Amino acid sequence: MTHPKSQHVVDARYMEPPEPFVQTMEMLDTLKPGEKMLLLLFREPHPLYKVLRQNGYTYESELVPDGTFEILIWR
Amino acid sequence: MQALLSFDKAPPFAAPLRFFLTAPLFVLMTGVLLMAVGPDMFASRWSPGLLAATHLITVGFMLQVMLGALIQILPVVAGANLRHPLAVARWLHGGLSTGALLLAAGFLFGQPALLGGAALILGASIAGFLAVSGQALYGVPSTSPTIRGLKFALFGLTGAVALGIVLALALARGWALPLPALTDLHAAWALGGWGGILLAAMAYVVVPMFQLTPGYPARPSWWLPRVMLALVLAWTLAVLLEWTLAIRLVQGLTALAGIAFAVLTLRLQRQRRRARADATYRYWQLGLYSAIFGLFLPLTATAWPPLAEWPGFSLAVGILLLVGGFISFIVGMLYKIVPFLAWLHLQNACGGQAPNMNRLLPELAMQRQMKAHAVAVALLLAAVVWPEWLLRPAGAALALAGGWLFYNLWGAVGRYRRHLAQKVSA
C-alpha cells in the first residue's frame, strides 16, 4: 500500500494491539537513511511516540476527517 | 525489538487492579441491599435505600473503575504520566471505597455524621486525584479529541463532586436549598459532564481498537465534549435563575447529544471487521440500546412534561442509564483491559512467552456473566412496575452478576499470578 505522504505505509487501523507497534518497529528497521514511513491508526499511539523519541526518531501526526491519525515518522 | 515492548514507566499492574477487583463487590452489595430493603426501596426516588443503592453503583462501582482506569490509561491515551501511580492508587482506592460505604450508610440510616464524613473523605480523595491528574495533563496539548475530552471530563467531575458535597451537607445540616433541582443538576454533571464526556473520550480510542470498527469521524468527536460541557453549564445557569422552561429544554438537548453519540457508535459497530460477537461487543450493544431508551425518556418529557410525573420515571431512567448503560460499558471495557494488562505484564516478565489472552479470561465465562447482568437489568425495569413481586429477584440477579464479575476478574488475576510464579521459579 502507498500513500501520498510516503511509500512505506503500515495501515494498522484494523489491527489489535500490540500488532501496530510491532509492525511499525519492523518497518522502521527496513527504512534507508532519509526515508520516511507512515502509520495509519484510529488513535494517537503515545507509548510508541515515547519509544520513537527515545530512539532519535521524529514524528508528525495529523487527524483527518474520517478519524484516521496519519503519523509520519523519520529519523 | 522485544525490549522496546516494555513500557518502562507503565504503572504497575497493582495500581489499577485494586480498583477493578473492589468495584464488582459494590455491585454485589447493591444487589444484597435491594434484597434486604425490598419493595419499599422503589416507593420514591428519595427513599433512603434507593439513594444508598444509587451511590453504591455510581461511586462504589463506576467512579472506582473510572479513576483506577485513568491512572493506567493517562500515559497511554494522552502521554500524561502520573507521578507515583502506585501511591496515588493506594490512597485514592482507600478514600473512594471508604467514602462510598459511608455515603451509602449515611443515606440508608439517615445519619448526618456519616453523610458529613463521606463528603469530607470523597471530597478530599477526588480533589487529590484532580490535583495529580491535572498536574500530569498540564502542558499536554489537546492533539486529539480524546485528550480534550479527558480535560473537559475532569472539569465535569469537579462540578459533580462540588454539587455532591453541597447536597450531602445540605441533608446533614438541614440547609434550605431546592434539593430536587440541585439533585437533577448533580446527576447532569455526574452523568453528562463527567461520565458522558469521559465515556466518549475513551470510546474514541477503545471502540475501534477493541471492536475493530472504523474510527469516530473527527469533526463530531471534537465537538461532543464542548457541546456536553456547554449544556451542563447552561443547565446550571437555568437552575440558578430558577428558569423552569430553560431547564426542561437543556435537559432535552443533553439527552439528544447522548443519543446522537450512542447512534453513531452503533453505526460504527455495524461496520466492524471482527465477525465474532464477543462479550465486549455484546456488552456495548446492551449499553448503547439501554442508554438510548434511558435518554429517550427525558427527551420525551421535554416535549410532554406529564411523563416526568409518572412515579417510575426517575427509576426507569436511572436503571437504564446506570445499570443498563454505564455498568455495561464499563464491564465491557474491563473484560478487554484486565486480560490485556495481565498479558502485557506477563509478556514483559516472561520475555515474550505470555499465554493467549483468552486463556487468562475465557470468553464463555464472560458471556455467561453478561447474561446474569442482562437478566438483572430486565428484572429491575420490570420491578419499577411490580416492585412487590420483582424487586428482590432483581436484587438477587444483580448480586449474582456483581459476584460473578468479581469471580471472573479474580480468576484472571490468579492465572496471571500462577504464570508469573512459574516463570520466576523456572
A20 falls within a domain: yes
User: In CATH, what number is assigned to the domain containing residue A18?
Assistant: 3.30.110.40
**Cell 455498568, residue?**
B327
DSSP state letter for A69: E
Q: What is the predicted pLDDT for the residue at B426?
A: 67
Residues of chain B in contact with residue A63, where contact means CB-CB under 8 angstroms, are 143-145, 218
Mean pLDDT to the nearest integer, B313-331: 98
Mean pLDDT to the nearest integer, B123-144: 97
Residue B3: pLDDT band (50, 70, 90) is very low
Q: Which helix (H) or strand (E) holds B151?
A: helix B145-173
**Cell 499536554, residue?**
B140
Distance from CA of A64 to the nearest CA of B (A): 7
Across the interface, whether the CB atoms of B214 and A18 are under 8 A apart is answered: no
pLDDT tens per residue, range B201-260: 999 999 999 999 999 999 999 999 999 999 999 999 999 999 999 999 999 999 999 999
pLDDT tens per residue, range A10-69: 999 999 888 999 999 999 999 999 999 999 999 999 999 999 999 999 999 999 999 999
ipTM of the complex in this document: 0.96
pLDDT tens per residue, range B12-61: 899 999 999 999 999 999 999 999 999 999 999 999 999 999 999 999 99
A60 interface with B at CB cutoff 8 Å: no
Burial B406-420 (b: 16+ CB within 10 A, else e): bebbeebbebbeebb
Q: Which of A18, A44, A67 sits opposite B143 (nearest CB)?
A: A44
Hey, what's the cell of B57? 453503583
pLDDT above 60 (res B8): no
What number of CA atoms fall less than 13 Å from residue B334's CA on the CB side? 32
Give burial (CB, 10 Å; 0-12/13-18/19+) of A55: exposed
Q: Say if CB B234 and CB B246 are below 8 A apart.
A: yes
Across the interface, whether the CB atoms of B209 and A16 are under 8 A apart is answered: yes
- For residue A65, what are the domain limits? 8-74
Q: What is the predicted pLDDT for the residue at B355?
A: 83
Across the interface, whether the CB atoms of A44 and B216 are under 8 A apart is answered: no
A4: helix, strand or coil? coil
Give residues with Cβ within 8 angstroms of B56, minimum separation 6.
B26, B27, B29, B30, B33, B100, B104
**Cell 495500581, residue?**
B15
Q: What is the predicted pLDDT for the residue at B9?
A: 58
A1 falls within a domain: no
A68 interface with B at CB cutoff 8 Å: yes
User: In CATH, what number is assigned to the domain containing residue B238?
Assistant: 1.20.210.10
Question: How many domains, in total, are found in chain B?
Answer: 1
Residues of chain B in contact with residue A53, where contact means CB-CB under 8 angstroms, are none
Residue with more model confidence, B421 or B297: B297
- Tell me how far apart the alpha carbons of residues B140 and B133 are, in angstroms, rounded to a whole number: 11
A9 interface with B at CB cutoff 8 Å: no
Q: What is the predicted pLDDT for the residue at B2?
A: 40
Residues of chain B in contact with residue A22, where contact means CB-CB under 8 angstroms, are 1, 5
- For residue B299, what are the domain limits? 2-425
Chain B residue at shortest CA distance from A65? B218
Across the interface, whether the CB atoms of B144 and A67 are under 8 A apart is answered: no
Mean pLDDT to the nearest integer, B168-190: 95
Distance from CA of A20 to the nearest CA of B (A): 11
Q: What is the predicted pLDDT for the residue at B422?
A: 86
A54 falls within a domain: yes
Chain B residue at shortest CA distance from A47? B76
Q: What is the predicted pLDDT for the residue at B1?
A: 40
Question: How many domains, in total, are found in chain A?
Answer: 1
Across the interface, whether the CB atoms of A67 and B5 are under 8 A apart is answered: no
Distance from CA of B324 to the nearest CA of A (A): 27
Q: Which of B5, B205, B273 sits opposite A18 (nearest CB)?
A: B5
For B189, B225, B250, B260, the CA distances from B185, given in Å and listed in that order, are 6, 18, 11, 21
Q: What is the predicted pLDDT for the residue at B275?
A: 76
For B65, B184, B335, the CA distances from B262, given in Å and listed in that order, are 21, 22, 20
Residues of chain A in contact with residue B340, where contact means CB-CB under 8 angstroms, are 17
Residue B71: pLDDT band (50, 70, 90) is very high
Name the β-bridge partners of B294: none
How much is the CA Rg of chain B, to the nearest whole Å? 21
Give percent of chain B above pLDDT 70.
97
pLDDT tens per residue, range B380-403: 999 999 999 999 999 999 999 999
